[in-house]
Structure 1
């Protein structure tokens, strides 16, 4: 079975639906081109040639949006290459690296604790799936992150890849990483595959649930994230440099404010009151400290967002909607208006010209 024109047509129509409903409530999902690299890397590790499948993977690797039907079909083809292998989707997912999930992976790893990482994933999931699906909830002594049914289901193989990647991602970052307390899937597998799943995740697995779920004991949420990945450190360094340009000659207090700002942007609520609360001071005191630099809160916020925007616009893997979300805007149009106010240019024009070339738009 191959990825035929019918599959591609269905996938393109699904993505058209995303574009028409951008900012709405329709949960039509996709994956990114970087994600299909999981499958290419698995083929390399297994020493499998698979010319037809590799051609399809190469076709989609550079795309921002990979339709769900295309991703499902590629997994079907991969499974057919190893007919005697039990649950190969787990091996595929276990090859995950930050590069496979792009900036989402770096933003998750940049969190201070496992609990903050879960919330960062929820906030930025739209960078990966094109819509926000994950729900995070405390349930007694457990914390749960779950994904409800969507208009286009990924299917059990794709869900298996995704959760294997998520758990592997955390295992590689944490010393003596504790296993989840439980995982649920909406689909089902053979008895042999079910045993493989339990051995891989080292926890009980529930099948045919209403949601895909991953649960951790609540005390795990305080586990610090060590930030080992060198590419992550590069991202954080660029963010720090951008914020230093917004407020040069900064003191320890201003550097603390810069870190607070990144968290507030991640939460989508960068207000003076929230920043002051996070720094354990009054809003008036924080405003006075900014005033010593000749800046109001709004002026400093705009300057910081502008510097971060220039950095993000240099990364062509980020769409303008992605950049807007990273800067704490709820929609791309609000970011575009703000960026034009800061620079006199539209972000699209700056990206086309190169983020260093800031010239006012022509009338």
Structure 2
């Protein structure tokens, strides 16, 4: 299976940097990136460029532990697909297994999971690049995320059993890390965080199996469409599933994510007998039918997830696609 070759950077970083007191343009310029990068919706960045971005944040913050501040800003209200999938889980054990499965959709990396005979859970993020190239701050952020996830979902002061970093933090940083993780940080060759069996299986208060079942089919489809044999239409469809909720599903952005020009994308779709407009409409229609039949979401919520400006635009479009109203289709689907 072909893995995602770039890291995603979305418009949410603009707000995040502002909340942290950073100047986004200065951060981008220091990293040698375009000034307007964070205004483009979601973009895919090569590893080297993404690492430059994180190193720029390190310099701008002047604090080696700024990733802990970033992670603490993660909330259950964040409409972020990986976080949403994790929070819907029954416990941390299931959450990391889901994240490990779908990590390849998000970045050129993987999550290695180890469960000891005593039931202790160890999660080790692994990049598909030399570890020496990965900024220390990014490695720390990855580990801190899992602890934040556990605390957020259980509303309990979860502690890590063990934290291993492949670099030596300063004495002051080590003490702050110990305060955050509730355990002394160790130095080792492999990055990792370990949780007790009790905490790994502690029930998530945010568990929502019904909503997970709504999103899981789309995630599975996106995984299959990462295969190198996927058609251009399938690749566009996979990207649209990710981009529609952010109202960023333009032909220009899709072409950029696929590393081709707008004209090349349009020509390849035409060779397959479709257009970008027809693909986006068919994707929206299939998602709309799925949401109408599988959830109690309102028309406004569905409209948002499909990238419409308002519910009325969604209702009109749905009737054009199907010749039926959304309410009629929902009622028929529920009957079956």
The alpha-carbon distance between structure 1 residues 89 and 217, as it changes in their structure 2 partners (threshold 3 A), is same
* 8 Å contact from structure 1 (residues 95, 165) kept in 2: no
Paired position in structure 1 for 2:110:
133
Paired position in structure 1 for 2:95:
117
Paired position in structure 2 for 1:51:
25
Paired position in structure 2 for 1:32:
8
Cα distance in 2 for partners of 1:76, 1:43 equals 14
Paired position in structure 1 for 2:288:
none
* 8 Å contact from structure 2 (residues 68, 144) kept in 1: yes
Paired position in structure 1 for 2:69:
91
Cα distance in 2 for partners of 1:220, 1:104 equals 20
Aligned residue for 1:125, secondary structure, equals helix
Between 1:177-186 and 1:151-160, the stretch displaced more is 151-160
Deviations 1:188-243 (A, max 9, x none): 32222121211111122112x22211111112222111128xxx89x928929xxx
Cα distance in 1 for partners of 2:96, 2:194 equals 11
2:244 equivalent to 1:315: yes
Ranked by relative contact order (alpha carbons within 8 Å, sequence separation 6 or more), the top structure is 2
The alpha-carbon distance between structure 1 residues 42 and 314, as it changes in their structure 2 partners (threshold 3 A), is closer
Cα distance in 2 for partners of 1:101, 1:67 equals 24
Structure 1 position 81, deviation (Å)? 2.6
Aligned residue for 2:110, secondary structure, equals coil
State TM-score, norm by structure 1.
Answer: 0.54
The alpha-carbon distance between structure 1 residues 87 and 93, as it changes in their structure 2 partners (threshold 3 A), is same
Cα distance in 1 for partners of 2:78, 2:153 equals 15
Cα distance in 2 for partners of 1:100, 1:171 equals 15
Paired position in structure 1 for 2:317:
none
Paired position in structure 1 for 2:211:
236
Deviations 1:244-263 (A, max 9, x none): xxxxxxxxxxxxxxxxx97x
The alpha-carbon distance between structure 1 residues 132 and 348, as it changes in their structure 2 partners (threshold 3 A), is farther
Query: Considering only aligned residues, what root-mean-square deviation do their CA atoms show, in Å?
Result: 4.2
Cα distance in 2 for partners of 1:314, 1:43 equals 22
2:191 equivalent to 1:212: yes
Cα distance in 2 for partners of 1:69, 1:54 equals 14
5+ long unaligned stretches in structure 1: 1-22, 241-260, 269-308, 320-344
State TM-score, norm by structure 2.
Answer: 0.58
Paired position in structure 2 for 1:198:
178
* 8 Å contact from structure 2 (residues 109, 126) kept in 1: no
Cα distance in 1 for partners of 2:123, 2:213 equals 30
- Match runs of 1:313-352 below 5 Å: 315=244, 350-352=278-280
Structure 1 position 58, deviation (Å)? 4.7
* Aligned residue-pair number: 242
